[in-house]
Structure 1
Amino acid sequence: MDEALRRLVTSCHNGPVPFACAPVFFCPMTIAGDQLFIEHVERLFMSDCESMSAEVRGRLRSIPAVHELLAEWPVMKAAGDAGDTMVREAIDAELDAERAAIRSGAPARNERELALAIEQRTHRLSLPTLRPAVNATGVVIHTNLGRAPLAPAAVQAVTDVARGYSTLEYDVSTCARGGRKEHAARLLRTLTGAQDALVVNNNAAAVLLVLAAHAAGKEVIVSRGELVEVGGSFRIPDIMAASGAKLVEVGSTNRTHLDDYRSAITPNTAMILKVHPSNYRIEGFHEEVSAAELSALAHEHGLLLYEDQGSGALLADGVLADAGEKPTSASLCAGVDVVSCSGDKLLGASQAGIILGSAQAIAACASHPLMRALRPGKLTLAALEATLRLYVTGPDAAHREIPVLNMLSGAPAPLERQAKRLHDRMLRKLREAQCEEAVELQVVEGASTPGGGSLPTVELPTFCVAVCPVDGRLSADGLKRAMVQEPDTPVVTRVRHDQVLFDVRTLLRDTDLDLCASALADAVRAGLRR
């Protein structure tokens, strides 16, 4: 029988009218008003049951009625916590799962077992889909886990602005309406030396806005080796097409010369676009044209030079310097007219697209109609401004307070000590759960990655706790999945060589260690029960 029809009938029942294969509940108005429909559905149920054994039909008949389940204390408690609607949804889902399990040969659960399962399912349904997670992958700027964690000062700034009114578009100096542009622009000018700055909601939006404001209907020259995909299947040619600009490819994938750009310039050319390889590297037989050379060429012909720097860095020290990553200010010093980058990658702030450049170029972007659609909200601006203030305070404060910079510069010795602490807590939790013999724990060396399309060739030496299943009922993939799906706070790890690895580089606070230990113990214990 069609499952959608089964759910339609099941969902509207209040009083019990048992069918041969499962308890289904009809409201009196439905029976009186649509008897033909009920008889049709009943025939479908009966035909569905003909292929079942008497034992399976008996198990299906033993499933408690909805009103009986609603009277169980765990279900009543769940209704009080999450509401009747959520409980009804949980009951429907749990009964569907119970029927499917019975048809597959599983024994029927009793009323108490079903009630506890409904309580647990209700709790999971009531959890927000966007909620905190523990990142034990070692990927510092993890796009799927929200990219850059915010500095405490940025979190406080967001909280302060979110809980009430704010000066988002109010100028306290004139006691009149102001603009949101200046909240971060002044600090960005100070930190980069740009004449002006503009913030939009992400770097893809920044690329779209710059192209639309300066090159709509005209040609933009790009090296073939820089026609990148910026994530989420958004590619530079697609963004360019959406902006109304015409793409002109020059050079080859691995080698582009200055003369390639020069020969492509026509009276309809508006811009030369340079895309920084933030999420890839071409090595070996490779040549590209520097920003300084392109600047001279562009200005010789009255063109705009725009660099999409991607990940964006305000500091060029430590890991960034070792990887050859230059700060945004270096591009501006080289003569680039407009530079854009992300706020939530190497900068370590909120999701944002930052546009830096000459006053005239920024003014054209700010006055474009797209700016209204792409402008950031107050929470984005509050977090970004607070993070920029840490940079203004100095490099030491930035490395200490901004999580991304702190994690990227983590030294091996502290990481090893952290891994040993995590190992000990895991062992203690496993002993409390009486399942320490089911897995083996070991502190091992490993490699973290910056992530987020940043510093693609960099590997950071780290330490991990490796969990190797010993009991045959357990598997590394099964433990990894359970630690994501079962706890209220998902613990995300990685698997290598049939081991679950907990990389301590990306564990932000001491409570993360406890969450990892508890999630592992619960996953092992649940796996042994299966």
Structure 2
Amino acid sequence: MTGPRGEAAGGAPRAGRPGDGPGGDARRRVPRTDVLLRDPRLAAAVERLGQAVVKAAVREAQQRARDGRVPPERVPETALGLLPGTASGLRPVINATGVLLHTNLGRAPLSDAARQAVAEAAGPTDVELDLTTGVRARRGRSALAALRERVPAAGDVHVVNNGAAALVLAATALAADKEIVVSRGEMVEIGDGFRLPDLLVSTGARLREVGTTNRTTAADYADAIGPGTGFVLKVHPSNFRITGFTRSAEVGELAGLGVPVVVDIGSGLLAPHPALPEEPDAATQLRAGAALVTASGDKLLGGPQCGLLLGDRDLVRALARHPLARALRVDKLTLAALEATLSGPPTPTARALTADPAGLRARADRLAADLGAHGVDVRAVDSIATVGGGGAPGVELPSAALSLPEPYAAVLRTGRFPVVGRLEAGRLLLDLRAVPPADDERLARAVRSAGTEGRRA
């Protein structure tokens, strides 16, 4: 038993609690939430981030003070330090993996022009209004016009919310209760466990598989076509390669079979690219006779996530009028980013794809010299980058990287400015091909900070 003043029954004093002393229990001096929220700095943060986000940081700071990890008078500063940079949980990172279009890092980074377009479109816009006449207009007409201009071979174009949705819309409109003729070698899995056959069957279409895994001829397709055929589908196997004894029918061989030929090029390349001679592009497929081409906007095009449909004028307009198109439509921010990507300057993806290997090595040498002068165990090395994002499988892009001890990986990944690299042969490589030169100093600061943390540990 204890007495009213905390003494044991025999008069012996009770053991002290953390913070007891001349000033009393420190936990009682932790500022109240309402008092903290009146701090001008935290009040300004509420306006920027919202009350829920700021209150969560305040409560965490209060708990740290109650646990004795910070003094009560430091609670406001601790709360400020816990606040995120934005109200979103997404954090910007430096992609030093050497994978230009890293799916886990959001694929293509938007250009400055596209980012500015998104910011301007965030408020009220004329997305479906003709300001001259004051009447309703086609949604995203200027973005669609920019896409048509980039691919003159397309009779018309339409945009949906991602590449898979583009194929689903085509299958639903053209082949519900009908057959889609497709090669067994093109029945791909598109990532995260989603398989093309499952996607197509979900639309009500039936799949008619032809050929074999490694060889499918135009005659195989012709033998399978009948009254119940909706269309012939050609799929670019963009995340793997089959080599050796292989054969694949070309679009030009299939265009005369009497049914539409739909080509899913996947990667979003609109025209031939000298660095990717084997990657299919929309313009070439349309000129070869494809009735419809589908692609993604956030891969080699370098734009926002969306699905592109390009092809025969009447066919594309029928797809745009299909009821499912309403469920798959894109928002105004995507349309703004897409238009700026199509009509603006070269995208970060385009610049990374054509970066000069000698220039990359020079950057790596400069960064390594700077970091070495700060005591970092680092060296510049040659590297190999890849396109990624389901594009250009097997294509190697000469690059340069910073080589660091493996423990840097976790510290950089969880730091204030996250940097994501790749582990290779027991070292962390920070490949520079996907890192814009403007981010070199930020990258160097992150590495210096990680080195300081490592020495403290």
Q: TM-score, normalised by structure 2?
A: 0.85
Specify the code of the residue in structure 2 equivalent to 1:313.
Answer: L
Q: What letter corresponds to residue 180 of structure 1 in structure 2?
A: R
Q: Match of 2:447?
A: 520
Q: 1:341, CA displacement in angstroms?
A: 0.6
Partner in structure 2 of residue 353 of structure 1: 307
CA contact (8 A) 2:404 2:429 kept: yes
Q: CA RMSD in A?
A: 3.2
Quote how far apart the aligned CAs of 1:387 are. 2.2
Over 3 Å counting, the alpha-carbon distance change for 1:114 and 1:494 in structure 2 is farther
Stretches of structure 1 lacking an aligned partner (at least 5 in a row)? 1-18, 20-53, 103-107, 391-397, 469-475
How far is the alpha carbon of 1:146 from its aligned partner? 1.9
| Residues 113 and 529 of structure 1, relative CA distance in 2, 3 Å threshold | farther
Per-residue deviation, residues 420-455 of structure 1 (Å, max 9, x unmatched): 232234345xx3xxxx1xx41111000111111111
Q: Does 1:377 align with 2:328?
A: no
Match 2:124 to one of 152, 162, 165: 165
Q: How big is the shift at 1:353?
A: 0.8
Pick aligned residue for 1:200 from 153, 156, 160: 160
C-alpha change, 1:61 and 1:133, in structure 2 (3 Å) is same
CA contact (8 A) 1:90 1:125 kept: no
2:199 to 233, 236, 239: 239
Counterparts of residues 408-423 of structure 1 (less than 5 Å): 408-423=353-368
**CA–CA separation in structure 2 for the residues paired with 1:126 and 1:158:** 16
Distance 1:66 1:115 in 2: 11
Alpha carbons of structure 1 residues 68 and 250: separation in structure 2 relative to 1, 3 Å: farther
- Find the counterpart in structure 1 of residue 381 from structure 2: 444
Instruction: Give the aligned partner of residue 190 of structure 1.
Output: 149
Query: Structure 1 CA distance, aligned partners of 2:229 and 2:358?
Result: 54
Spell out, residue by residue over 1:144-169, the C-alpha distance to the aligned partner (whole angstroms, 9 max, x if none). Answer: 2222122333233223322x432211
Structure ranking higher in helix proportion: 1
Q: What are the residue-to-residue correspondences of 1:247-396 with 2, within 5 Å?
A: 247-297=207-257, 299=258, 303-321=259-277, 324-390=278-344
The aligned amino acid for 2:104 is N
Deviation of residue 326 (structure 1)?
3.2
**Residue 70 of structure 1 aligns to a residue in which SS?**
coil
Q: Deviations over 1:223-259 (max 9, x none)?
A: 1111112223222112212211112222221122223
- Structure of greater relative contact order (alpha carbons < 8 Å, 6+ residues apart): 2
**1:321-366 per-position Cα deviation (integer Å, ceiling 9, x unaligned):** 2xx1232111111111111111111111221111011112112101
Which of the numbers 469, 476, 480 marks the counterpart of 2:409? 480
User: Would you say how many aligned residue pairs link Structure 1 and Structure 2?
Assistant: 436
Q: Which runs of 5+ in 2 are unaligned?
A: 1-5, 7-13
Q: CA deviation at 1:80?
A: 4.6
Structure 1 distance, partners of 2:451, 2:282, is 47
Could you say if the C-alpha distance between residues 69 and 122 of structure 1 is closer, same or farther in structure 2, counting changes exceeding 3 Å? farther
**Contact 1:348–1:404 (8 Å) recurs in 2:** yes
1:399-410 to 2 correspondence within 5 Å?
401-410=346-355
When structure 1 is superposed on structure 2, of 206-215 and 169-178 the one drifting more is 169-178
Q: Tell me by how many angstroms 1:499 deviates.
A: 1.6
Task: Give 1:283 shift.
Answer: 0.9
Deviation of 1:289 after TM superposition, in Å, equals 1.0
Equivalent residue of 1:296, what SS?
A: coil
Using the alignment, how far apart are the partners of 1:149 and 1:85 within structure 2? 29
Supply the distance in 1 between the matched residues of 2:72 and 2:450 (Cα, whole angstroms): 23
1:265-289 deviation digits (Å, cap 9, x = unpaired): 2321111111012222111121111
Could you give the per-residue CA deviations for residues 67-108 of structure 1, whole angstroms, max 9, x where no partner exists?
Answer: 433379999788556567556645765788999xx9xxxxx7
Per the alignment, in what secondary structure is the counterpart of residue 198 of structure 1?
strand
